[in-house]
Structure 1
Amino acid sequence: MIVEGILQNDIYGDMLRRLISDHQGITRCYRYKIPFQETLKRHNTKPNAGDFGESEMRQWWREDDGLRGVDETLIGPDQSLADTTIQIIADCGWEPLPLNTASKR
């Protein structure tokens, strides 16, 4: 399961820590640690970029809102999506699909 979003520690922290504690399988936690300007730049490339913009994002933004008491792997602004995917697959002990198999799905 992947839980993704702007989940502020003071609002969602207890729930997320319970979810992590109760989970019986592999549990890994990752968090983007990128500056606001980079976040805004990435947002502007999304299909839903017009749904909300910089002013709304500034209201939600927290510079460093990690999930306290949990071992998180940080993903920085220079780490590509491909590298992040490879890292998560390796961290979970999974075998990546061969390219020819993945393209058939």
Structure 2
Amino acid sequence: MIVIRGNSASGKSSIAVGLREQFGRNLAIVGQDNLRRVVLRERDRPGGANIGLIDLTARYALDNGFHVVLEGILYADRYGPMLRDLVSAHRGVSRCYYLDVPYEETVRRHAAKADAEYHRHVTPDHLSDWYREKDLLADGLETVIDALSTLDDTVSQIMDESGLDQVLPVDR
């Protein structure tokens, strides 16, 4: 199981997709945005229903033999207890990563996204409101990856450190 956290526009979803492209089938992507915003249409608030749904979805995929990439902003104060429980309960390898990208770079990356509809709903003001500098989980659970790491380098690092580069995918 791989957990990828960081601020908006830090590269979490791109890394998750890159991991799946490199690994192949049998790797489930559990995205906070999809479950919270699309499935539940819920605001990100303490104690939100999405926290339990994320946990259940990740556990279900793991219990059914999938490798899991769980990605999202996943603020430490709201999601930290669930993430620590999930990592603690997982019988296999768990690796957690935090993408440490400065606010100015998140704005630049956000502006480079091609989705015009997204730009109408998410502005630099939203990014500023959501931004939390170094929102790390307690107990040094995460490896910090800085903004200088390229997408390919980050995917390679996670593949190597998680051991996914040594696992054969299952063609489901």
For normalisation by structure 1, the TM-score amounts to: 0.82
Pairwise mapping of residues 59-78 of structure 1 onto structure 2 (< 5 A)? 59-78=129-148
Displacement of 1:26 in angstroms is 1.0
Question: Match for residue 21 of structure 1?
Answer: 88
Question: Match for residue 2 of structure 1?
Answer: 69
Paired residue total: 96
Per-residue Cα deviation, 1:14-54 (whole angstroms, up to 9, x for no partner):
11111111111110001101100001111122234413011
- What amino acid is aligned across from residue 105 of structure 2 in structure 1? E
Question: Match for residue 43 of structure 1?
Answer: 110
Q: Determine the C-alpha separation between the residues in 2 that align with 1:68 and 1:80.
A: 26
Give the gaps of 5 or more residues in structure 1.
97-105
User: More strand by proportion, 1 or 2?
Assistant: 2
Provide the alpha-carbon RMSD of the alignment: 1.5
Q: Determine the C-alpha separation between the residues in 2 that align with 1:42 and 1:86.
A: 21
The sequence identity of aligned pairs, in percent, is 39
Question: Match for residue 52 of structure 1?
Answer: 122
Give the gaps of 5 or more residues in structure 2.
1-67, 167-172
For normalisation by structure 2, the TM-score amounts to: 0.52
- What amino acid is aligned across from residue 69 of structure 1 in structure 2? D
User: More helix by proportion, 1 or 2?
Assistant: 2
Conserved? CA contact 1:29–1:73, under 8 Å: yes
